[in-house]
Structure 1
Amino acid sequence: MGLNDLAGAVFEGVLFDMDGTLIDSTPAVVRAWTTWMGEFGLDPDQVGRHHGMPSAQVVRALLPQERQAEAIRRIDELELADVHDIVVLPGAAEALASLSHAKSAIATSCNGPLARARIAAAQLVPPSVLITVDDVSRGKPAPDPFLEAARRLGVDPRRCLVVEDAPKGLESARAAGCATLAVVTTTAREDLDADAVVDDLSEVEFLPGPDGIRVRLRP
């Protein structure tokens, strides 16, 4: 296992996905979406294909237009009401702390209220830049979330490292021109198309310096 070309790279910024990358919200997500699927007559295979995308985009992909407004309102309601059992994933707090004086951001498919509720529930200390689906016209897998995060940080997206757990998020990062580091928290390793793949963030450390940010495997 190694970091491939990432080991020698220097980045201007590090852009993190949230769910499945920094925090484990899987139990809450499963509860909310299971209830929603039952109410709208869908099965898990249909929903699972859209992992990593904003909930409204998932709804629009699965239901006819006349049912979408109600379905979006309902999944938002269910997810916001359930932020139990949300915890910080291994290495995530340390990663953010090491970058507290460097350029880093979170770019998530959650809407703003849900992102802030999950961050608070996990007691995670986030970076100053938080991009949610409310901040962009197109969510993942479009590049917009990572492009907006880079813009707000004042950095070139082509010199940013994205940390993701989902194929759709990695697709978004590549479209934005970013380098990619995947964590194997929600998706099988063989399904993660990234520059490097690690089990979780406890395996790496981020090293800010005068010329930028490096990433390396923990010794």
Structure 2
Amino acid sequence: MPSAPFLRRLLASAVIALSLASCAGERPRQQLPPGQPIETAEQSREAKLCLAELDRTGSPYRALPDRYFGAGCQTLNTVQLDAIRGDDGQFALTNLGPVTCPLATTVSQWARFGVDRAAREILGSPLARIQTFGSYSCRNVAGTARRSAHSRAEAVDVAAFVLADGRRVEVLSDWNGGSAEERRFLRVVQESACKRFGTVLGPEYNAAHRNHFHLEMRGGSFCR
């Protein structure tokens, strides 16, 4: 009959063998690289309501997957806004990346009921295109350690407006240097933006905004 020490050694060997077999059968966990789409729960009620509201604007868009990029940068509840529906067709968009659904909805309404109408009344021609410097960018507010709204796709920078008659009204050159009508147009569209967005920054805010309007959803009606 085997001795007790021999039986204990035999039992220990069996346990180790089973443990190694179990480990051999495990699949290593996959580490997703930054920016990889994540599996999320069903969209929140708020997100669904926003997409329904964006549908009502008639502007074509594509819903995008939620992404976390690390370091406080993310694109959650975002869409790719392909164009903006106007009264007589669509307004093209230049260089616009992912934007949050609420931002896309507000930009659509501003373009149609603010910019286009101002262009018709002041400059005598409908809006054809809005040119931007983009939306999402993983960066800080200039000169600070605080993340910009761009790092969450909650802001867009608008540089110029192209009219149906071919004219281009640019924030940089026309805010002070354009015709009287062009200067008035730019100020009217900024005032219109201030009624819709939480934060609007333009050439009179600081030198960093001399060439664009910064339109952001967050903020307490800060308009400069």
TM-score (norm 2): 0.26
Larger fraction in strand? 2
Larger fraction in helix? 1
Structure with the bigger RCO (C-alpha within 8 Å, sep 6+) is 1
Structure (1 or 2) with the larger CA radius of gyration: 2
TM-score (norm 1): 0.26
